[in-house]
Structure 1
């Protein structure tokens, strides 16, 4: 996840003229298309390289392959499975600058009928500080509400104060749950995460 796009959103401009002189929204959020999987993979790798800097070895981050991520996203977009599995994208004009993936929660203490989870939310590090993360989060919560979920959660690294502040300033709060990820499966690199939650019915 990218964590720099957590300032006060800029006022949304009205329109920008496209190549064919068609007005397009300067910033918008919508459901992702399979053709956008490559751009999503590129953004995820760029965001992970920033987010996990200092947590993962530099060579591991350098070896992250956008094409591999893109292949997984393309498959998920073509065959999402349950109807409430969704990927949303943030756009600056026609340029994809961020994405979020939402699904029913599979946490042991959650009820997938009522609990959703933001599995991933990332903004291109080159497009931060323009309000895209806030617009994306607002659209995600609106979608979760429309899909009938009554609770939504997200896991954040315990040391990531910026990301945690982004969510808490938007009305989210810790729910007391935590977990430790064993990134390599051999105990050599562990990352502690805490869970935040909100009631989508109370979000504006």
Structure 2
């Protein structure tokens, strides 16, 4: 006999030391899946250094208003969001777990944190060619605000657009 639950075993919680490997794996997998960065950029990533930076961000945030949240399916980390004062620095979900509400739950947790810290707006950056992220942000109430920036990644330059909303 199969056991069914009325609700899925999904949640969002603050990241804790030990989550850094899963957060790094989610970030690399999500970046690879978009195809926007290009395989040269992905292959040039220093994954051990990324893991160390996430360990620092989780265990010793650089100041007030910085936090990392993880999305869970059962015990497995399937996504994360990182915030700084007024900004969602990063929000990624494993490709296999996308379109299951994890991104929305992570964004809600991030916005709740920003409000708690006194912010009245939220901003984030999205790659110019990432149409899936643009659709997600737009459906979440954020809009492009006309600001752009160009990041030098080594193999090529990446253009991002800023998205924002009142919260």
Q: TM-score by structure 2 length?
A: 0.88
Contact 1:38 1:66 in 2 (8 A): no
CA RMSD after TM alignment: 1.9
The structure 1 residue matched to 2:133, chosen from 129, 154, 163, is 163
For this pair of structures, how many residues does the alignment match? 163
Q: Which runs of 5+ in 1 are unaligned?
A: 1-11, 16-25, 105-115
- CA distances 1:89-136 after superposition (whole Å, capped 9, x unpaired): 1011111110010002xxxxxxxxxxx111110001122221111111
TM-aligned CA distance change 1:64 to 1:142, over 3 Å: same
In structure 1, how many angstroms separate the alpha carbons of the residues matched to 2:6 and 2:166? 29
In structure 2, how many angstroms separate the alpha carbons of the residues matched to 1:142 and 1:59? 36
The structure 1 residue matched to 2:31, chosen from 48, 73, 76, is 48
- CA distances 1:173-201 after superposition (whole Å, capped 9, x unpaired): 111111122222xxx6222211110112x
Aligned to 2:51: 70
In structure 2, how many angstroms separate the alpha carbons of the residues matched to 1:151 and 1:77? 23
- CA distances 1:49-69 after superposition (whole Å, capped 9, x unpaired): 123x2543x344235343322
Query: SS of the residue aligned with 2:23?
Result: helix
Contact 2:125 2:162 in 1 (8 A): yes
Deviation of 1:73 (Å): 0.6
Contact 2:93 2:102 in 1 (8 A): yes
In structure 2, how many angstroms separate the alpha carbons of the residues matched to 1:63 and 1:178? 24
- CA distances 1:132-168 after superposition (whole Å, capped 9, x unpaired): 1111111111111111111110111112221111111
Contact 2:10 2:72 in 1 (8 A): yes
In structure 1, how many angstroms separate the alpha carbons of the residues matched to 2:36 and 2:139? 26
Indicate the structure with greater helix content: 2
Q: With CA pairs under 8 Å and 6+ residues apart, which has the higher RCO, 1 or 2?
A: 1
Q: Which runs of 5+ in 2 are unaligned?
A: none
Instruction: Report whether the alignment pairs 1:87 with 2:80.
Output: no
Aligned to 2:150: 180
Q: TM-score by structure 1 length?
A: 0.73
